[in-house]
């Protein structure tokens, strides 16, 4: 007796019609292996499923999806808006094959002028806006923020040093010498004068550039008339720097104060979406995205999915200019308006300056996709060469490369980078602070064991059935036969013994180009010096080394800035800052009595006793 093949297709879908009504909701289509093929929303579930139950009249993509469908699941909601929000959450969670999916979830940086210090710091900020101050953004990238900050320091002379460094200065630093800071730390400018600089910087970032330039020009003329030629020259340099900022931004629309320009280009089933950020009549950069197109979705569906997923954790601007209309404009507008807490407008401009902005973004999307497709072809050839060199069953789609970094065991960090058909997948890089004694003992084998154990225990917990793309096909380890043997043992202990692994070790004279490759149970071998696959592996190893060293340096720098105050319960950043400002150093805090400690803002009698007891116990 043979197993009966599971029923699939429109007849299976028809069976569900008897149990459905006209409620709004979300539906899931599953294949015979119970894998989710598609998640969709509907204003009327019965009407939507009736369309799928028809035997003909579907696009090729929908027909394939229906043919694979063996079962369906339904969740009703009160409104279609709730269905839209639930649909996007499920798509992000389940990553169905036929849905459009935005795979880049990085946050965008802002410029922050802090408000928690008499002399505010200007700096880059990413993440939750929990610190008090004025935020300006988003900027498309850290590079765009850094370029703008660099020029703003030349114009407005605001400090970028940390509060602890500010308090410890006894003479001006190099930033003052090269005319990028007004040195408020040592009294080179009054609090009132510095506040005027802060106000000018905020006006500029709000788009009031004309008034800022006019004020600087007036001050320069006055200084020149008073024969204060050094001050006039300094003001001239600031005006020049301000002009350079505006020129470097490239696009400075006059009629668009605040908008995101979202443009889509589709080609051969692949999509590129370009987003340009316009704030305060200035361009604050652009970013390209490559959403998964759900096996051939059309532009309106891709655009709707992109907008709802992109703004899921970001505040939308008042206006979003689009290259293509979305499937449900009223519904998407309502969802984005709720997210922003005010009205958001979607527009597909046909003429004028707004249309020119969209046309420019479309051109960028088209060029970016062409470059990516060319790079992808080259990358696929390298992956095929890698599979041949290492005798893999197929070109690896996900390669994970591991490396450790420490100085004699101090500040030990493990690093993991990821590469695949799309190149380096930087959003999936990971850092591991070494917690075990292996770090203190400079035990590289122990550190690698800790990193791999933590990585794969979590992966086994989150995806035991290996349904996601987070499982690697190949592990590259920095090391030779001993390292590879140790890693193979670690993976066997975890019950993960079917992932290929290769150790990359330099040759006898440690010369790049003479690397030896080690596999479990195999003799080591080398590749020809001019083999493109060898260069590719070197790039992977060097990127892992760069990532691990960067993580180590960041951890070491953070440790240097710590003081004994960080170990006292109840002492956070604000109280720590207040204590250091009042006493000048943590040593002075340690010598202070309870009464002296109470004189500091935010330090109660109980907290003063806690601080005094802590240092008393330390001896």
CATH topology of domain 10-98: GIY-YIG endonuclease (3.40.1440)
HSE-CB at 351 with a 13 A cutoff on CA atoms is 0
- Asked if the model's pLDDT at residue 474 lies above 90, the reply is yes
Work out the number of other CB atoms within 10 angstroms of the CB of residue 430. Answer: 17
Check whether 359 has a pLDDT greater than 70.
yes
Checking if the pLDDT of 282 tops 70, the result is: yes
Mean pLDDT of 129-133: 87
* Three-state SS sequence of 23-84: CCEEEEEECCCCCEEEEEEECCHHHHHHHHHCCCCCCHHHHHHHHHCCEEEEEECCCHHHHH
pLDDT classification of 1: cutoffs 50, 70, 90: very low
* Residue pair 175/169 in contact by the 8 Å Cβ criterion: no
Count CA atoms closer than 13 A to 49's CA, side-chain side.
Answer: 28
- Each domain of the chain, given as residue ranges in start order, spans 10-98, 110-249, 258-370, 398-559, 564-618
Mean pLDDT of the 448-463 span: 89
CA distance 602 to 572: 11
14 band by pLDDT with thresholds 50, 70 and 90: very high
Percent over 90 (pLDDT), the chain: 41
Q: What is the pLDDT of residues 29-84, one digit of tens each?
A: 999 989 999 999 999 999 999 999 998 889 889 999 999 999 999 999 999 999 99
- 374: pLDDT confidence band, cut at 50, 70 and 90? confident
User: Among candidates 87, 97, 100, which has minimal Cα distance to 39?
Assistant: 87
Which tens digits make up the pLDDT trace of 520-563? Answer: 888 888 888 888 999 999 999 899 989 888 877 776 666 555 66
Q: Which long-range contacts (CB under 8 A, 24 or more apart) does 450-453 make?
A: 450/414, 451/402, 451/404, 451/414, 451/416, 452/402, 452/487, 452/490, 452/491, 452/494, 453/490, 453/494
* CB contact at 8 A, 460 and 87: no
DSSP secondary structure letters along 217-280 = HHHHHHHHHTT-HHHHHHHHHHHHHHHHHHHHH----SS-SEEEEEEEEEETTEEEEEEEEEET
pLDDT in tens, 403-437: 888 665 566 888 999 999 888 988 899 999 887 77
CATH code: domain 564-618 is: 1.10.150.20
- Equal CATH topology for 10-98 and 258-370: no
Helix axes 80-94, 299-310, angle to 10 degrees: 90
Residue 374 and residue 34: Cα distance in Å, rounded? 36
**What is the H or E stretch that residue 403 is in?**
strand 398-407
Domain 398-559: which CATH number of 3.40.50.1000, 1.10.8.290, 3.30.420.340, 3.40.1080.10: 3.30.420.340
List C-alpha distances in Å: 592 to 83, 171, 585, 613: 60, 26, 11, 11
Tokens representing 246 are 């505006």
Residue 438 pLDDT level (bands cut at 50, 70, 90): low
pLDDT tens-digit map of 191-202: 998 998 898 888
Distance between CA atoms of residues 24 and 317, nearest Å = 28
Considering the domain delimited by 258-370, tell me its CATH architecture. 2-Layer Sandwich (3.30)
pTM over 0.85: no
Average pLDDT, the chain: 86
User: Can you give the pLDDT at residue 559?
Assistant: 58
d(CA 5, CA 596): 82
């Amino acid at each position: 007796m043979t197993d009966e093949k599971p029923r699939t297709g429109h007849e299976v879908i028809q069976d569900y019609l008897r149990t459905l009504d006209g409620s709004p909701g979300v539906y899931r289509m599953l294949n015979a292996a119970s894998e989710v093929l598609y998640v969709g929303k509907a204003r009327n579930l019965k009407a939507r499923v009736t369309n799928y139950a028809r035997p003909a009249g579907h696009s090729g993509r929908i027909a394939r999806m229906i043919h694979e469908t063996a079962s369906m699941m339904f969740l009703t909601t009160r409104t279609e808006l709730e269905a839209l929000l639930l649909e996007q959450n499920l798509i992000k969670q389940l990553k169905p094959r036929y849905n459009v999916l935005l795979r880049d979830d990085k946050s965008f940086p802002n410029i922050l002028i802090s408000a928690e210090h008499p002399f505010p710091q200007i700096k880059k900020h990413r993440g939750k806006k929990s610190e008090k101050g004025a935020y300006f953004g988003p900027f498309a990238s850290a590079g765009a923020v850094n370029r703008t900050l660099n020029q703003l320091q030349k114009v407005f002379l605001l400090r970028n040093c940390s509060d602890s460094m500010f308090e410890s200065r006894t003479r001006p630093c190099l930033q003052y010498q090269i005319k990028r800071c007004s040195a408020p730390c040592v009294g080179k400018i009054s609090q009132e004068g510095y506040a005027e600089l802060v106000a000018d910087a905020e006006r500029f970032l709000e788009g009031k550039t004309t008034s800022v330039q006019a004020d600087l020009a007036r001050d320069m003329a006055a200084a020149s008339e008073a024969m204060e030629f050094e001050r006039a020259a300094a003001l001239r340099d600031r005006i020049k720097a301000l002009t350079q900022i505006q020129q470097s931004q490239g696009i400075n629309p006059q009629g668009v104060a605040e908008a995101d320009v979202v443009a889509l280009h589709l080609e051969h089933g692949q999509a590129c979406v370009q987003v340009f950020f316009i704030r305060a009549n200035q361009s604050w950069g652009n970013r390209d995205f490559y959403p998964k197109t759900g096996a051939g979705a059309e532009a309106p569906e891709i655009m709707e999915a992109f907008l709802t997923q992109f703004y899921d954790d970001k505040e939308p601007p008042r206006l979003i200019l689009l290259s293509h209309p979305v499937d449900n404009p009223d519904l998407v507008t309502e969802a984005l308006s709720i997210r922003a807490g005010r009205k958001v407008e979607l527009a597909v401009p046909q003429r004028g300056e707004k249309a020119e902005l969209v046309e420019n973004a479309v051109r960028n999307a088209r060029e970016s996709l062409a470059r990516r497709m060319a790079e992808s072809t080259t990358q696929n050839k390298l992956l095929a060469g890698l599979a041949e060199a290492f005798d893999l069953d197929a070109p690896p789609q996900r390669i994970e490369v591991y490396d450790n970094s420490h100085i004699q065991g101090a500040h030990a960090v493990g690093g993991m980078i990821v590469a695949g058909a799309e190149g380096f997948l930087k959003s999936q890089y990971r850092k591991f602070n070494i917690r075990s004694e292996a770090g203190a003992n400079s035990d590289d084998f122990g550190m690698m064991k800790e990193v791999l154990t933590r990585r794969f225990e979590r992966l086994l917990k989150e995806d035991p059935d290996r349904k996601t793309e987070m499982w690697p096909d190949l592990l590259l380890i920095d090391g030779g036969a001993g390292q590879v043997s140790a890693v193979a043992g670690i993976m066997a202990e975890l019950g993960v013994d079917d992932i290929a692994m290769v150790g990359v070790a330099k040759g006898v004279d440690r010369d790049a180009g003479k690397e030896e490759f080690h596999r479990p149970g195999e003799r080591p071998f080398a590749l020809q010096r001019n083999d493109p696959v060898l260069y590719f592996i070197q790039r992977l190893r060097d990127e892992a080394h760069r990532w691990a060293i960067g993580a180590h340096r960041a951890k070491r720098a953070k440790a240097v800035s710590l003081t004994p105050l960080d170990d006292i319960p109840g002492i956070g950043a604000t109280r720590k800052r207040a204590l250091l400002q009042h006493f000048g150093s943590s040593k002075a805090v340690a010598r202070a009595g309870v009464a002296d400690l109470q004189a500091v803002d935010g330090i109660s009698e109980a907290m003063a006793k806690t601080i005094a007891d802590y240092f008393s116990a330390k001896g």
